[in-house]
């Protein structure tokens, strides 16, 4: 029986994660109600994917007080938006404001989660949890019978359908003769930010700017961070040039694609490119020789595509990254000295895409359908 399913996109990686899920749920006849927070590149990415969403709320910045105020303000806006009839379930990948609003409306909440060291504010506890099978069940916030797991990692859900276009470097006007390093700076406005990551990022950029054999593609998280990086590292010799005006790359599972809606200046010099528009997709990762990130998604996407991946995230390591390290698909950079001793600045050997299946996606769809059935059965019993 068709159900009404509310999905809330709270951060940039949620768009590629939920896109194939939405497509299958709608193909199965369900009605998907989609909302999205104005956060980083999330809105432009949702537009690139042609998702039919309603924007609600925005990121509050660094201030903890503003974050708390924004949580309750957005939850209230979601509460007012839903109206009648209410959705049968609410899905998110850690959207606290959605969970709060849904709990107040007594709508069953399903939270996808892949990092166990997160704080749960009052009233934001989900009814169900779905996590990768390497996630430690002993830290789950729900009873055992309401916890579900799926094979692989979150990034496998959309990386499984990835087909390289081979145009990422061309769109940026970069030759692949040099060692191409894609870098994601640390999330300086996140509650988990650690200043150690800033020190590593600083040493990394200085190392690359001194090496003519390396070209870095830095993907800032927002316009403020982009300006700060440009002012700090390219105050004089940074050259600004128009970005490519080629057709927008098709969104085929990428976490982000080059958007040419506003092709203004990019930051560029022989060792450094920083696009103005969002460009952190699987195509770019596939064409890079290595990926170095201060967060989670991009380094795990690289691991999923077998591109050498390094993380200088300095929060408490999660089970997913720990598993990738054990499998030697991810290397942790723990201090500036590790840049020289642990990172192999070299060309990636020619390779083919790793064989992928849709096991992760199929398992998630099966869990959603079974939860819908359970909740529907419970509601009928109450009636």
Strand arrangement, sheet containing 128-132: 54-58, 31-38, 4-9, 89-92, 109-112, 128-132, 147-150
In the structure, how many helices (H) and strands (E) does the chain have? 13, 15
Alpha-carbon separation of residue 51 from 9, 43, 54 (angstroms): 11, 10, 10
The pLDDT, as a whole number, for residue 357 is 81
Would you list the domain boundaries of the chain?
4-153+358-382, 168-341
Which residues partner with 273 through β-bridges?
217, 268
Between residues 382 and 157, which one has the greater pLDDT?
157
The pLDDT, as a whole number, for residue 236 is 55
* DSSP tag of 146: G
Residue 124 reports pLDDT greater than 80: yes
Residue 239 reports pLDDT greater than 70: no
Q: What fold is seen in the domain 168-341? A: Rossmann fold (3.40.50)
Between residues 65 and 200, which one has the greater pLDDT?
200
Handedness of CA 304, 306, 312, 314 (dihedral sign): positive
320-335: average pLDDT:
96
Residue 261 reports pLDDT greater than 50: no
Average pLDDT, the chain: 86
Cα angle, residue 222 at apex, residues 219 and 227 outer, rounded to 5° = 85
The pLDDT, as a whole number, for residue 158 is 92
Distance CA 275, CA 311 (A): 21
Half-sphere exposure of 40 (CA within 13 A, CB side): 24
73-94: average pLDDT:
95
Distance CA 360, CA 211 (A): 40
Distance CA 91, CA 57 (A): 17
Distance CA 244, CA 40 (A): 22
- Topology match between the domains 4-153+358-382 and 168-341: yes
The pLDDT, as a whole number, for residue 173 is 86
Strand arrangement, sheet containing 309-311: 239-242, 265-269, 272-274, 214-218, 179-184, 290-293, 309-311, 331-332
Please provide the DSSP assignment of 99-125 as one string. Answer: HHHHHHTT--EEEE-S-S-----TT--
320-345: average pLDDT:
96
We find that the CATH architecture of domain 4-153+358-382 is 3-Layer(aba) Sandwich (3.40)
> Where residue 259 falls among pLDDT bands split at 50, 70, 90?
very low
Instruction: Work out the percent of the chain whose per-residue pLDDT is above 90.
Output: 61
Instruction: Work out the percent of the chain whose per-residue pLDDT is above 70.
Output: 86
The pLDDT, as a whole number, for residue 379 is 60
Q: Give the end-to-end CA distance of the chain in Å, rounded to a whole number.
A: 18
Between residues 257 and 45, which one has the greater pLDDT?
45
297: three-class secondary structure by DSSP: helix
Locate tokens 């200088």: which residue? 312
Locate tokens 């390779």: which residue? 351
Alpha-carbon separation of residue 49 from 28, 44, 208, 243, 290 (angstroms): 20, 9, 33, 21, 26
The pLDDT, as a whole number, for residue 365 is 98
The model's pTM is: 0.86
Residue 189 reports pLDDT greater than 70: no
């Amino acid at each position: 029986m068709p159900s009404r399913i509310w999905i809330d996109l709270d951060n940039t990686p949620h768009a590629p994660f939920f896109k194939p899920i939405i497509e299958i749920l709608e193909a199965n006849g369900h009605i998907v109600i989609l909302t999205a927070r104005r956060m980083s590149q999330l809105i432009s990415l949702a537009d690139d994917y042609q998702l039919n969403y309603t924007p609600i709320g925005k990121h509050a910045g660094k201030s903890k007080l503003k974050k708390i105020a924004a949580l309750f303000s957005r939850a209230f806006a979601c509460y007012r938006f839903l109206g009648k009839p209410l959705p049968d379930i609410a899905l998110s990948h850690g959207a606290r404001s959605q969970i709060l609003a849904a709990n107040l409306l007594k709508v069953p909440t399903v939270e996808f989660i892949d990092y166990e060291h997160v704080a749960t504010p009052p009233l934001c506890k989900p009814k169900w949890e779905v996590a990768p099978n390497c996630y430690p069940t002993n830290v789950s916030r729900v009873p055992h019978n309401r916890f579900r797991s799926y094979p692989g990692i979150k990034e496998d859900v959309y990386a499984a359908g990835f087909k390289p276009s081979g145009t990422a470097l061309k769109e940026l006007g970069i030759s692949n003769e040099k060692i191409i390093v894609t870098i994601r700076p640390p999330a300086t406005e996140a509650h988990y930010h650690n200043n150690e990551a800033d020190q590593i990022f600083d040493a990394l950029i200085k190392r690359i700017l001194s090496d003519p054999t390396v070209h870095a593609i830095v993907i800032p998280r927002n316009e403020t961070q982009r300006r700060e990086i440009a002012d700090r590292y390219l105050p004089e010799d940074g050259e600004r040039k128009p970005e490519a005006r080629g057709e927008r790359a098709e969104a085929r599972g990428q976490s982000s694609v080059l958007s040419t809606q506003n092709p203004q200046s990019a930051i560029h010099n022989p060792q450094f490119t920083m696009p103005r528009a969002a460009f952190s997709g699987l195509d770019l990762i596939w064409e890079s020789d290595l990926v170095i990130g201060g967060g989670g998604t991009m380094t795990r996407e690289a691991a999923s595509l077998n591109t050498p991946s390094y993380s200088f995230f300095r929060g408490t390591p999660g089970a997913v990254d720990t598993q990738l390290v054990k499998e030697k698909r991810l290397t942790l950079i723990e201090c500036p000295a590790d840049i020289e001793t642990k990172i192999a600045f070299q060309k990636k050997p020619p390779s083919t895409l790793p064989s992928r299946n849709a096991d992760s996606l199929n398992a998630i769809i099966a869990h959603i359908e079974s939860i819908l059935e359970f909740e529907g059965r419970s509601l009928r019993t109450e009636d």
